[in-house]
Amino acid sequence: MKLAELCGTDVSYIGQIEIGRRFPSIELIEKMAEALKLDPYRLFMAEPGEAYGETDNTADFLASMPLDIRKDLITRLSAAICASVAAILAP
């Protein structure tokens, strides 16, 4: 509930993201990362504690997200980034 409040979105939307039914926009990913005080890429780490600067709140958030959902988010984010880069670089 607190994350939804900090991100200016609905609790049910955050819940849908957590269970893999929705995929957040890049803007919401940035808001979530800012609310959790971490770099956006950290939301997509395979395991908590893999990178520098993780807080207990971040570890708890990541640990509560099922691994298959984190992997799915990584796949979707990678595809979105690749598509964005391709569009930017297209003549």
Residue 67: predicted pLDDT: 85
Closest residue by Cα to residue 14 from 30, 33, 35, 28: 28
Flag whether pLDDT at 71 surpasses 70. yes
pTM confidence score: 0.50
Domain that holds residue 36: 2-89
The answer to whether the beta carbons of residues 49 and 40 sit under 8 Å apart is no
Q: CA-CA distance, 37 to 84, in Å (whole number)?
A: 25
Residue-wise pLDDT for 20-31, tens only, equals: 888 888 899 999
Domain total of the chain:
1
Residue-wise pLDDT for 29-68, tens only, equals: 999 989 888 888 888 775 555 554 555 566 676 677 788 8
